[in-house]
Structure 1
Amino acid sequence: MHLALSTQWQFAWLVTASFIAGVMNAMAGGGSFVSFPAMMAMGILPIAANATNTVALWPGQLTSVAKLRNDLRRDLLPTIIVTSILGGVSGAIVLLRTKQITFLHVLPWMLLSASLLFGISGPISTWLRSRSLHPQKQKTPALLPLFCILLPVCFYIGYFGAGAGFLIMSALALFGVEEMHQLNSLKVLAACLSNLCAVLTFIVSGAVLWHYCLISMVFAAAGGYIGAHYARRMNSNILRIIVVVTGCVMAGYFFWRQP
C-alpha cells in the first residue's frame, strides 16, 4: 500500500514538473531544473533520465516555436539551423558515451553553473530591454563569428541543456540582435533544433524510456504552448528567481548525493 501510494505521488510530481518545465522553457528557460530531477525520482539512471527528459520536453519547445514564429529573424535562420544541428548531434553523442558515474559527478556542477548564469541574467536582461527600446538600424551580424559562439552552446544543449537559453540570447545580443521578442523566438528555435537532433540520436540509440517519456511529453507540450502565450505578459524577474532557487536546490541535492 505504501509503495503504491509513493509511486502515485512520483507520477503526479512527474506530470506537474513536466507542465511547469514546458512553461518555464517558453518564458525564460531552465525547465530541466524541475523535470530532470522528477525523471530521476522515478528510479531512472542519470543518462537515460536525461535522454528521456530531453525527448519529453521537445514537443513543448516545438509548440513554442509555432507560437513565436512571426518574431523570427529570417536572415539569421540558416546560421541558427546549421549551428543547432551540429551542436545538438555532437552533444548527444558525447552524452551517450559518458559513463554514468562521470555524469553524476559533472551533473551538480552543470546545475550550479546554469543557476548562477540565471542569477546574473537580471542586469543583462535589463540592458537588453533598454537596447530594445532604442534599437539601432537592423543589420545582419557577422555570421561566422556568431556560428563559433553559438556552437558550444548548442553542444551543451545536446549534452544537457539546462540554462542554455540565456546563453543563446546573450550571444545574439552581443552580435547586434536587439529586439527582445526576436531574441526570445531565436532562443526557442535554437533550443528546439538542437534538442531535436539530440532527440533523434537518443531514439536511434534506444536510450529513451517511453512509458515515462510519453506522460511527460503531453504535459510539457501543454505547458510550452501556454508559456509562449503568456511570455509577453509574465514578469521575468519573478520567474528568474524561481529558476535560480530551484536550480541551486537541485545542485545542492546532487552534490549531497555524490557517490
Structure 2
Amino acid sequence: MELTDAVLLVAAGLAAGTMNAVAGGGSLITFPALIAVGLPPVAANVSNSVAVCPGYLAAVAGSRVDLPARREWLPLVPTAVVGSLVGCLLLLGTPARAFELVVPFLVLAATAVLAFQEPLRRLVGHARDGGPRRRALAAQVMVGVGAVYGGYFGAALGVMLVAGLALVLDATMARVSAVKNLVSAVVGLTTVTVFGLFGPVNWAAVALVAPATLVGGYVGARLARRLPSVVLKTVIVAFGTCIGLYLLYRALR
C-alpha cells in the first residue's frame, strides 16, 4: 500500500468516526475510500465491516445507561446474530457480480435515509400505536431486516436501524439510539467473526481505518454540540449520491 493510499484511509477513518458521532452514516466515507485505493467492492465491503466494529463497541459503552431493561433487549440479540449470518452468507455465497449490481442501490438507499433522517425522527417523535406484544414483534422484524442488511453491506446500518426502531419502540430517542448501538455491535461482532475466518479482509486497510474511526468518534463526540452537522450531512449526502451513481455506472457499463 502506497503512502498516499494510507493517508487517504486514515483521513477517511477520522471523517467517518466524526460523522458517526454527529449524525451517523460514516461508512459512506470509508467504503468508497477503500474502493478508491484499489480494493474490489466485495473486499472493500468486508474490510469496512471489520474496521467499523470497534466504533460500535465504543458506542455501546457510551450509551449503556440508556439501554432498557435486559428483558427488553436480550431477545433481540439472537435475531441480530441470525440476521447477520444470513447477510454474510448471502455476500460470500453469491457471485461478486451480483454484489456489484446491488451495492449502488444500497448506497443510494442509505444516503436517502441519512438525507431524510430528521424528518423521519419528527415523524416518529411520539409513541406508536399498538400493544407491547405487537411492538416487540415489530422490533424483531426491524432488527432482523437490519441485521441482514448489516451482514450483507452495512454502510449506514446505524442510520437505518434508528429510523426503523423509532417507528416501533415506545421509547425516547436516547433509548432507541442505545438499542441501535447494541444491535449494531452484535452485527459487527458477527461479521468480524465470519469475515475474519472466511472473507477477503484486507487487514492492512483495517489496521489504518479502525483506529482512525475511534479517534474521529472521540473528537466528533466532543464537537457534536458545536459542529454544524447540517453542513456535514449535506456533504455526505452529496458524496454518497455521487459514489452510488458512479458505482451504478461502473456496474452497468
TM-score, with length taken from structure 2: 0.87
CA distance in 1, matches of 2:226, 2:176: 16
Say whether 1:151 aligns with 2:144. yes
- The answer to whether the 8 A contact 2:24-2:114 is kept is no
SS in 1 for 2:38: coil
Deviations 1:20-65 (A, max 9, x none): 1122233332111110111112211211111111111111111121
> Which residue does the alignment assign to 2:33?
38
**What's the offset of the Cα at 1:171?**
2.6
> Which residue does the alignment assign to 2:63?
68
Residues 184 and 158 (structure 1), Cα distance of their counterparts in 2 relative to 1, 3 Å cut: same
Residues 80 and 28 (structure 1), Cα distance of their counterparts in 2 relative to 1, 3 Å cut: farther
Matched ranges for 1:166-185 at <5 A: 166-185=159-178
Matched ranges for 1:213-228 at <5 A: 213-228=206-221
- Given candidates 205, 218, 222, the residue that maps to 1:212 is 205
> Which residue does the alignment assign to 1:189?
182
TM-score, with length taken from structure 1: 0.85
**What's the offset of the Cα at 1:179?**
1.1
- The answer to whether the 8 A contact 2:34-2:48 is kept is yes
Unpaired runs of 5+ residues, structure 1, are none
Q: Which amino acid aligns with 1:101?
A: R
CA distance in 2, matches of 1:10, 1:19: 14
Q: Which amino acid aligns with 2:89?
A: I
Q: How many residues align?
A: 248
> Which residue does the alignment assign to 1:92?
88
Q: Which amino acid aligns with 2:191?
A: A
List 4+ stretches of structure 1 deviating above 3 A: 139-142, 225-240
**What's the offset of the Cα at 1:231?**
4.9
Deviations 1:175-214 (A, max 9, x none): 2333121122221221121121011000111421111111
Residues 231 and 172 (structure 1), Cα distance of their counterparts in 2 relative to 1, 3 Å cut: farther
CA distance in 2, matches of 1:10, 1:143: 45
Deviations 1:92-132 (A, max 9, x none): 1111112222211111111111112222222122344x54x
Say whether 1:25 aligns with 2:25. no
Residues 98 and 27 (structure 1), Cα distance of their counterparts in 2 relative to 1, 3 Å cut: farther
- Choose 40-49 or 224-233, whichever is displaced more: 224-233
Q: Percent of pairs identical after alignment?
A: 32
Residues 198 and 242 (structure 1), Cα distance of their counterparts in 2 relative to 1, 3 Å cut: same
- Given candidates 97, 109, 115, the residue that maps to 2:111 is 115
CA distance in 2, matches of 1:180, 1:29: 14
> Which residue does the alignment assign to 2:99?
103
> Which residue does the alignment assign to 1:52?
47
Residues 233 and 81 (structure 1), Cα distance of their counterparts in 2 relative to 1, 3 Å cut: farther
Q: Which amino acid aligns with 2:48?
A: N
> Which residue does the alignment assign to 1:83?
79
RMSD value, Cα = 2.4
**What's the offset of the Cα at 1:236?**
4.8
Deviations 1:59-78 (A, max 9, x none): 11111211111111124321
- The answer to whether the 8 A contact 1:60-1:224 is kept is yes
- The answer to whether the 8 A contact 2:21-2:220 is kept is yes
- Given candidates 14, 26, 36, the residue that maps to 2:9 is 14
Unpaired runs of 5+ residues, structure 2, are none
CA distance in 2, matches of 1:184, 1:229: 18
SS in 1 for 2:74: helix
